[in-house]
Amino acid sequence: MDFLRLVPVMRRLALEAGDRIMAIYDGPDFDVRSKEDASPVTAADEAADALISDGLRAAFPDVTLITEEQSASHGLSASTFLIVDPLDGTKEFVQRRGDFTVNIAYVENGVPLRGVVYAPAKGRLFYTLPDGSAVEETGPFAKEAPGPTRPIRVKTPDNAALMVVASKSHRDAATDAYIGKYAVADMTSAGSSLKFCLVATGEADLYPRLGRTMEWDTAAGDAVLRGAGGEMIRFDDHAPFAYGKPGFANPFFIAYAPGVLLVK
């Protein structure tokens, strides 16, 4: 893959999809439907998915494309693929809480090598550069040319005073019990893949997820986190986290800054 070509395409499509999403978000009430798995979907999900899919297929026609909204792609199998969640955090979108993101990632041999996470309502844009390092662009976000960026890096954690981020919509007793095993200075809640980015920027040290996710929910945020020096592992055995699994379903996981003394 030509990363010098890939990164600008992913960035531009994420911004264009964000515009489509915000036009619906800022407009009058919109319909919310339920998919077969009972998760919500809106016209914003579908519009963003169509835009990103068309753009990626035009630019990279020989690369397998997996998207949340195109169920036919879920039966595909490939070691190298592009994977898209056009609107992660639909519940946050529906409730107009702002914590939703556009996610595009490139996976090779099970590893998300490059990714972009754009939170249009928050005005935050994170992505990996062609060399794999992670940055946050500070905006305003021109489509054809990146604006000012700052390198992002996980911080060195203080295990006596950790900052933990957890899901805003999927917090449960099991997650709280696990977090309770650490010395926590403070906690914050965030929706969607923003949680990965908070660890990547050093705004949090630890993000455990003891709940259902799919690869399109995590790949882009995982790529940004890895580019910032962070890590993501399976919750049960602390084994490396891999992509391209049958059905694209994720196990429970832990995303963290190296130096956190993990417990089981």
For CA atoms 52, 58, 63, 65, the dihedral sign is positive
What span, in angstroms and rounded, lies between the C-alpha atoms of 262 and 159? 10
- Residue extents of the structural domains in the chain: 3-151, 162-256
Q: Which CATH number fits domain 3-151: 3.30.540.10, 3.90.1200.10, 3.40.50.9100, 1.10.10.60?
A: 3.30.540.10
How does pLDDT run across 23-57, given as a tens digit for each residue? Answer: 989 887 777 776 656 566 788 889 999 999 999 99
Name the nearest CA neighbour of 23 among 44, 49, 46.
44
> Pseudo-torsion of CA 114, 78, 231, 71, nearest 10°?
90
Q: How many helices (H) and strands (E) does the chain have?
A: 6, 14
pLDDT on residue 231: 98
Cis, peptide link before residue 140, omega less than 30° from 0 = yes
pLDDT on residue 26: 87
Residues of the chain with pLDDT under 70: 34-40, 71-72, 75, 168-170
Q: Do domains 3-151 and 162-256 have the same CATH topology?
A: no
At 172, which amino acid appears? D
- Contact criterion met (CB below 8 Å) for 120 and 194: no
pLDDT on residue 43: 85
pLDDT on residue 36: 59
pLDDT on residue 89: 86
- Contact criterion met (CB below 8 Å) for 65 and 81: yes
Residue recorded with tokens 């690369």: 63
Which class is 162-256 in CATH?
A: alpha beta
- Contact criterion met (CB below 8 Å) for 173 and 125: no
E-strand spans in the chain? 32-34, 40-42, 64-67, 80-88, 101-108, 111-119, 124-128, 134-137, 149-151, 162-167, 184-190, 206-209, 231-234, 253-256
pLDDT on residue 184: 96
β-strand pairing of 80-88 with 64-67: parallel
pLDDT on residue 261: 98
Return the half-sphere exposure (C-beta side, CA atoms, 13 A cut-off) of residue 26.
Answer: 8
